[in-house]
Structure 1
Amino acid sequence: MQEELNQEGLNQEALNAQQPVETTADVAQDVKEKTLEEIIAELEKERDAFKDQLYRKAADFENFRRQKEKEAAAYLKFAEKGLIKALLPNLDDLERVIKNADKFLEGNPDAKIYVDGVKLVHQKLLKTLEQRGVKRIEALGKKFDVNFHEALTQVPKSDVAPDTIIEEFEAGYTMHDDVIRHAKVVIAKEAE
């Protein structure tokens, strides 16, 4: 039995001699290589995450900038619309002066120069408003439309189709296709 044990020990030693022996340096090198590869992989993964985060932040900032630009433009449009609404009664006054100028000129021919001045101011104001996107709503002779007109009253008329505008008390205006003041009108209805 002793012999068998000795034989097994010899066989084991022979097996060990045939297999290459890994030294401590070889084991350390394998660990070191794996560690470097793992570190590189982790760093690349971290880099990719930071790049992704950077791109997302840049996109978020661009969206924020665009939103603020839209808000600023909307605010300016709102403020401009308010100012123009406030100017419209002055435009109405100029139009009344021009409409009644002939009565004024009958007894005072020297006043023509003043009336011409008022007409020039009126034309200049209309041109400025037009440049800002303001347009007068055409009403007279048109079919009544609640989107653009405000009916003050109805008058029976047999020579005009019902719901046709026959008189305009106050002009209406749009600004960039938005109604800023409805035209105040009188519409025809069927004669009884």
Structure 2
Amino acid sequence: MASDPTAGGAPADMPVDPDTLDIPPRPESAAEWQRLVEQLQAEKADLQDKQLRALAEAQNVRRRAQQDVEKERKFAVERFARDVLSVADNFGRALSALPADLDSLDPALRNVIVGIQATDRELQSVLERHGVTRIASLGKPFNAEFHQAMMEVENPDVPHGTVVQELIPGYLIAGRLLRAAMVAVSKGGPAAGAAAASAN
């Protein structure tokens, strides 16, 4: 018994009308075949271009994410290092207040001082291992990139603009400025260039 087309859909052997299918017409000439090939090649090139752009964008996203992570890590290290510098400053102040002749002190007190000196050296070593290095300032020409002038000292014996006193040491981290050194700068002496010329 034949199936009723209105009952549950058309039977499997029901003929299909080709006019209802979206099939491009078959090229009938070499020119039409050539145009079809060129069209397919253009579509292929467009898809390849979109794929390359998508891959490049994904790579850029990964690179930006890595840069953000690295930047945050550096900022975190810098914040921690800047906090540790206050500890190093306190050690420096304590050591600078010590008398020059430690042999005259009580042996017990002398041992405490030796321990403080050893701790300060270890702290400086730890900072250096993590890329934090102290800026050498004394006797150097003033450099606004690394120094912050807190006062001027009259001294005709040294070239003008020479760092003659370091109030608070400065530090670099991985070659970048972490904290500028607070210094006293000489005035009244010869210009740095003139002093160098006379020395030669």
TM-score normalised per structure 1: 0.71
Task: Evaluate the alpha carbon distance shift between residue 74 and residue 30 of structure 1 in structure 2; reply closer, same or farther with a 3 A threshold.
Answer: closer
Residue 51 of structure 1: aligned partner? 48
3-state DSSP of counterpart to 2:51:
helix
Size of the aligned set, in residue pairs, is: 164
Residue 157 of structure 2: aligned partner? 159
Q: How does 1:31-110 map to 2 (within 5 A)?
A: 45-102=42-99, 106-110=104-108
Let me know the Cα RMSD of the aligned residues: 2.9
Residue 180 of structure 1: aligned partner? 178
Residue 120 of structure 2: aligned partner? 122
Residue 23 of structure 1: aligned partner? none
CA contact (8 A) 2:170 2:180 kept: yes
3-state DSSP of counterpart to 1:152:
strand
Q: Percent identity?
A: 26
Query: How many Å apart are 1:176 and its aligned residue?
Result: 1.9
The gaps in structure 2 that reach 5 residues or longer are 1-24, 190-200
The gaps in structure 1 that reach 5 residues or longer are 1-27
CA contact (8 A) 2:171 2:179 kept: yes
Q: Deviations over 1:19-78 (max 9, x none)?
A: xxxxxxxxx9975x9999887765555444333322221111011111111121111111
Residue 15 of structure 1: aligned partner? none
Q: How far apart in 2 are the matches of 1:163 and 1:35?
A: 84
Q: Compare 97-106 and 154-163 and name the one that shifted more.
A: 97-106
Q: How far apart in 1 are the matches of 2:94 and 2:140?
A: 25
Q: Compare 120-129 and 56-65 and name the one that shifted more.
A: 120-129
3-state DSSP of counterpart to 1:115:
helix
Q: How far apart in 1 are the matches of 2:98 and 2:188?
A: 35
Residue 137 of structure 1: aligned partner? 135
TM-score normalised per structure 2: 0.69
Q: How far apart in 1 are the matches of 2:140 and 2:26?
A: 94
CA contact (8 A) 2:135 2:181 kept: yes
Task: Evaluate the alpha carbon distance shift between residue 187 and residue 29 of structure 1 in structure 2; reply closer, same or farther with a 3 A threshold.
Answer: closer
Higher CA-based Rg? 1
Q: Deviations over 1:97-138 (max 9, x none)?
A: 233344795443113333333223222221221122211111
3-state DSSP of counterpart to 2:182:
strand
3-state DSSP of counterpart to 2:150:
strand
